[in-house]
Amino acid sequence: MSQNQTNSLPLPGSERNLPPKAQLVGPCSPTALITVTLYLRARNQEELQQRLQQLPQSQSYLTPNQFAERYGADPADLDQVSNFAQRHGLQVVETDPARRSVRLSGSIAAMQSAFGVQLHEYRHQGSTYRLHQGPVYLSSELHGIVTSVFGLDNRPQADAHFRLLPSAAVSQQSFNPTDLARLYNFPTSATGQGETIGIIELGGGYQQTDLDAYFRQLGVTPAPQVTAVSVDGGQNGPTGNANSADGEVELDIEVAGAVAPGAKQKIFFAPNSDQGFIDAVTSAIHDAEVTLISISWGQAESNFTTQSLTAFNQAFQEAGTMGKTVFVAAGDNGSSDGETDGKNHVDFPSSSPFAVACGGTTLQASSGNSSIVSETVWNEQSQGEGATGGGVSDFFPKPDYQSQANVPPPQTQGGGRGVPDVAGDADPVTGYNVLVDGAKSVVGGTSAVAPLYAGLFALINELLVKQGKPRAGDVHRALYQNPQAFRDITSGNNGAFSAAPGWDATTGLGSPNGIQIADALTGSQTQRA
């Protein structure tokens, strides 16, 4: 801690450890400029907590503007942060009262002094990153005002959960997303008109020529309207390599667009860091157009700071107050989630109890794709093709909607939230036909399942709105109360956990029967086209 931080206290949950095998390069250049994001407390916090506890029963949703007016950042708190920045030679580059965020820019030296950290460059897995160890420190006047600080450390925070089928591998049976919509009985009397799916991307990009060709080939006309949104300098930057993050971006857009062509899409591009990830998520949630959110990126819970876990969870909870549903891929590395400590791990942010965690299956269909022949837990780890994530959170307690689910005991006293909630086809061997960087590819991964469900709920939201009802919002309670709306997967495992009748820690409630889910949520029989 620097000398002028003697009146400072550590920000709870901000502690960072070095990644295994990280090699010290040296101190960061003191004159280099960086940008950090501070998140602040909400106004009317007790009232906000009461509102959050009443969801979704109240179904009295707020617009983003109404949310900002009641629960945005207090102007006095923003002034405190501004005064702090001025004293430390930092510049306020953006203030967003609705998101309760302030972005500050300044030199490494000024940031180290302001937040009591030492920033060093480390080499890890072939790249160099700016890292710090231990907590971030806050001066006394910011304690209780600032809840989290992101961006001092810029290590990659998440992995894309897609799996490109290797050219040498043989696909048993691949599907167009429209095939899966038919097999999963999605409503055909809606297109997602009036909905906007916000998709979070932490790298890569899409080419409009790919999207136009793909949707034209599927007979999806007109093609969905897709718009790129820049967050923290992130850009739509296709690399030309289908096995890069481009594979993630175009998979997400093409799956959601094929099953809900009437829904608009906003793609939020941000750098792959804790700062970029949370800023993209809060930008999407507070975007007045966005009604659903799809996230196909994540990493084991243990790789996130407590302030990150808390900030994402709070953001997803607040999405519920605005009637927005968040779908997140549950991971592609089985019950260990790719960690090598011999323990089970769940993937975050799918483990947030306010996100719908999307697991994966292996799907076999009849010739002509008219019916499902078999569906089992996706586990191709013996062939190097991954397996669905799933298990029990070590951080989030079991939510009340899982009180009747047979969730295994957690490894830690504070944990208990079971993952995933739902599932769908994710095995690259029975994967999705997509077009990435001009090449036809077969892609799997739980990455595909999040946009598949986002597309389904765009259709359901359209049906709800047509009936004069509010959008689905936080759907967990409704889903768990209607297990008959899912195809129960009872065969297979993801390593430590096995499928069983009812909810399990491999495929959750199972794969969707779209019309039955729609009927359960709309309270009426969905009109067949």
Q: How far is Cα 107 from Cα 296, in angstroms, rounded to an integer?
A: 33
Given the residues 159, 195, 210, 252, the one annotated as active site: 252
Point out the domain boundary residue: 96, 115, 150: 150
What is the model's pLDDT at position 6? Answer: 56
Beta strand 226-230 with 137-139: parallel, antiparallel or unpaired?
A: unpaired
Query: Is the same domain home to 116 and 167?
Result: no
Query: Is the same domain home to 387 and 273?
Result: yes
Binning pLDDT at 50, 70 and 90, where does residue 168 land? low
State whether residue 217 is helix, strand or coil.
Answer: helix
Asked if residue 477 is part of any domain, the answer here is yes
Point out the domain boundary residue: 130, 150, 170: 150
**How many other CB atoms are found less than 10 A from the CB of residue 27?**
12
Q: How far is Cα 517 from Cα 413, in angstroms, rounded to an integer?
A: 34
Q: Mean pLDDT for the chain?
A: 94
Q: Is 385 a catalytic residue?
A: no
Asked if residue 193 is part of any domain, the answer here is yes
Backbone φ and ψ of 379, nearest 5°: -150, 95
Asked if residue 529 is part of any domain, the answer here is no
Question: For residues 522 and 52, which has the higher predicted lDDT (pLDDT)?
Answer: 522
Given the residues 96, 232, 248, 332, the one annotated as active site: 248
Query: Is the same domain home to 174 and 140?
Result: no
Binning pLDDT at 50, 70 and 90, where does residue 22 land? very high
Asked if residue 137 is part of any domain, the answer here is yes
Asked if residue 297 is part of any domain, the answer here is yes
Query: Is the same domain home to 291 and 383?
Result: yes
Asked if residue 335 is part of any domain, the answer here is yes
pLDDT at 50 over 90: no
User: Whole domain around residue 466: which residue ranges?
Assistant: 159-522
Query: Is the same domain home to 146 and 275?
Result: no
What's the total number of domains in the chain?
A: 2
Which whole number is the average pLDDT over 166-181? 86
The pLDDT tens digits of the residues spanning 307-359 come to 999 999 999 999 999 999 999 999 999 999 999 999 999 999 999 999 999 99
Q: How far is Cα 404 from Cα 49, in angstroms, rounded to an integer?
A: 25
Which whole number is the average pLDDT over 207-221? 96
Q: Is 252 a catalytic residue?
A: yes
Asked if 147 and 39 touch (Cβ cutoff 8 Å), the reply is yes
pLDDT at 211 over 70: yes
Query: Is the same domain home to 167 and 22?
Result: no
pLDDT at 2 over 80: no
Token couple for 232: 């923290």
Query: Is the same domain home to 133 and 207?
Result: no
Buried b (16+ CB within 10 A) or exposed e, 198-212: bbbbbbbbbbeebbe
Query: Is the same domain home to 111 and 231?
Result: no
pLDDT at 488 over 50: yes
Which whole number is the average pLDDT over 427-441? 95
Q: What is the CATH number of the domain that holds 307?
A: 3.40.50.200
Given the residues 294, 296, 336, 447, the one annotated as active site: 447
Query: Is the same domain home to 31 and 164?
Result: no
Asked if 182 and 259 touch (Cβ cutoff 8 Å), the reply is no
Asked if residue 528 is part of any domain, the answer here is no
Query: Is the same domain home to 175 and 82?
Result: no
**How many other CB atoms are found less than 10 A from the CB of residue 389?**
36
Query: Is the same domain home to 164 and 136?
Result: no
Query: Is the same domain home to 203 and 125?
Result: no
Asked if residue 39 is part of any domain, the answer here is yes
pLDDT at 515 over 70: yes
Q: Is 447 a catalytic residue?
A: yes
Point out the domain boundary residue: 104, 128, 150: 150
